[in-house]
A and B are shown apart, each in its own frame.
Chain A
Amino acid sequence: MTAAIEIDGVTKNFGSTRAVDNVSFEVPERSIFGLLGPNGAGKTTLFSLVASFLRPNSGAVRVEGIDVRNVSKLRGRLSILPQDAQFQANVPVLEQVIFFAMLSGSTRHDAEKAAMDALALVGLEEQAKKGARVLSHGMSKRLGIAQAFLGEPSVILLDEPTAGLDPKAARGIRDLIANQKVNGTLVISSHDLAEIQRMCDTVAIMRQGKLVECAKVSDLTRNDGAARLTFAKNLDDAQQASIRGVAGVANLVVDAAPTYGLVLDPEGNREEIIAKVVQTLAAAGVVARSIEDDTDLESRFLELTD
């Protein structure tokens, strides 16, 4: 599989702060790729490097094989929803989108049509002739998405498209993105891990400017013999020891008591081992409130970024 984006040993410093530290990975072509990390991990900086807004101190970024230092060669093929970028407050929304379309190579006539279609897609037809200053935060995000999908680019970067939105507005944006006919590659950064797990094929996880994981979502969330047990109150040492003594239990780790991580022997039968654990606890007078498969992206994310 060829790469839509190649990030090769990229480092970016802001003064004495190293925001991105020797990061390398590839975004597969025609994939939906998630970029994850806690605040300050370097996600937005990395997006800005890919879009050539920022110049790396070392390393190289290539989009569809073209070094982003020659970003004009990617005109019409690469687009971005930048985080926190503002539209011109006093210029009508429609005129701004027409301007973007014309810069991307459309004639005035085609640009007008493309702009109206894009605004209709995100439900902003009624605001078309108003200045961007009248738009709410959610509307601005929708306008940002409209301009990002304008002209059907083959690589689209969406930097936290749902940040700062209420749940309903965030849902609307998610549906909007999901309904787009993406024929190319979509890279999304988000704090909503469930959203990323649902939408993305592959994710990269960053922490303090470094890449800590880059893998398929299915690999990261594969159940490799772990479960999470939650009790009404903390287990004492004897109760913990009795669980560890069950055949097939490799370990019991304190996750965030009264929640415990149960590590199972991969050779054993998962269902049987958990049934034995439940029986052992019942004999000791303890009942688990919940038993969950430890298979969500959030667990993996916390494990990698803590």
Chain B
Amino acid sequence: MSFHGLRGPHVRLIAKTHTKYSIRGGTGLVFALMALLTGLIIASIFVDPINQAKQQADAPDDIAEQIIQQVGRPAIKWATDASDTQLDYWMDANPALITAFMLLFMMFLPFLVALGASNQLSGDIGNRGIRYQLLRTERANLFLGRMVGTYLFGLIIYLVLFLIVAIFFLVQLDFYSAGDTITWLTRGFLAVAVYSLPYVALCAWISCAIDSAFGSLALTQLAIGFWPLLVNIGARQWEPFENAGYLMPWVYRSWLFDPSIGKTLAGIAVMLAFTALFTFLGLRHFEKRDL
């Protein structure tokens, strides 16, 4: 593998063009709609029941807090296997409903990323459109430029989603202060930004290996969903198999929300390490393969 042809201006140009025209492509549009829809449905799952309970109660804020502590807390503990320290940080020190929204959204995020990132190269390899660019730049620039463009496009969509969700929580629920809402959602957005990175890289690797956009989508969804499922089933039969989950970024996602700065930074480091690994494997394959 050679990186001597790597050019910053080319990566920037390819990333910019890819971001600019992502929405025009079918998969980009589907990803944007699905990400927004999923986020808003998740937000409304938490906001609507609380709102209804508040309307029927004499002390709306008390009943909301009661529901969060009695229903929300055990549910989040079950879903994330969080420690009491983590739960206190998520449910008491910060807006609990926004925590619930962000944790659930993070569970769907890898599958949403695959929708937007699975066709970084596969479609253009399949229809040979990539050949118009191959004599004009190094393969590494194409691979990294499209990966960066895909990532930036995703960030724009998540930013729009989090802005809508912030307004939704502030206007619809009127339960948390604007400062708490925006601060905690900003942390969530940063976590999403970091957590989506290794999955964009994983999709880039798979996308450069498959000549069909649909095939790449199917394989990325399978790769993302299969491992946690396998670990879950395997751990029921043999508990130590649970540790196999650490081979994918999935397990580390709650570290990004951890009260300890050290563990949060470790979570970021793990995500960057997975990103580097998937990018390296993808680049190596793309450099060597026939196009």
CA distance A213 to B112 in the complex (A): 55
Knowing that A55-B288, A80-B135 touch, tell me 20 more A-B residue pairs with CB under 8 angstroms.
Answer: A52-B134, A55-B289, A72-B137, A76-B136, A79-B135, A82-B128, A85-B131, A85-B132, A86-B129, A88-B124, A88-B129, A90-B21, A90-B25, A91-B24, A95-B17, A95-B21, A96-B132, A99-B13, A100-B132, A104-B136
Q: Give chain A's interface residues, CB within 8 Å of chain B.
A: 48, 51-55, 71-72, 74-76, 78-80, 82, 84-88, 90-91, 95-96, 99-100, 102-104, 131, 147
Name the contact of B136 in the complex, choosing from A87, A91, A95, A103 (C-beta under 8 A).
A103
CA distance A55 to B21 in the complex (A): 30
Name the contact of B290 in the complex, choosing from A54, A71, A131 (C-beta under 8 A).
A54
Interface check B291, CB cutoff 8 A:
yes
Interface check B10, CB cutoff 8 A:
yes
* Residues of A contacting B290 in the complex (Cβ-Cβ under 8 angstroms): 48, 53-55
- 22 example contacts (A-B, Cβ-Cβ < 8 A) are as follows A51-B131, A51-B134, A52-B134, A53-B291, A54-B290, A54-B291, A71-B135, A72-B138, A74-B135, A75-B137, A76-B136, A80-B131, A82-B132, A86-B127, A87-B132, A88-B21, A95-B17, A95-B21, A100-B132, A102-B13, A103-B13, A131-B24
* Residues of B contacting A86 in the complex (Cβ-Cβ under 8 angstroms): 127-129
Question: Chain A nearest CB: distance from B205 CB in Å?
Answer: 19
CA distance A79 to B134 in the complex (A): 10
Q: Is the CB of A85 within 8 A of B128?
A: yes
Interface check B56, CB cutoff 8 A:
no
* Residues of B contacting A96 in the complex (Cβ-Cβ under 8 angstroms): 132
Q: Give chain B's interface residues, CB within 8 Å of chain A.
A: 5, 10, 13-14, 17, 21, 24-25, 124, 127-129, 131-138, 288-291
Name the contact of A99 in the complex, choosing from B17, B138, B291 (C-beta under 8 A).
B17
CA distance A74 to B288 in the complex (A): 18
* Residues of A contacting B17 in the complex (Cβ-Cβ under 8 angstroms): 95, 99
* Residues of A contacting B133 in the complex (Cβ-Cβ under 8 angstroms): 100, 103
CA distance A100 to B24 in the complex (A): 19
Question: Chain B nearest CB: distance from A79 CB in Å?
Answer: 6
* Residues of A contacting B127 in the complex (Cβ-Cβ under 8 angstroms): 85-86
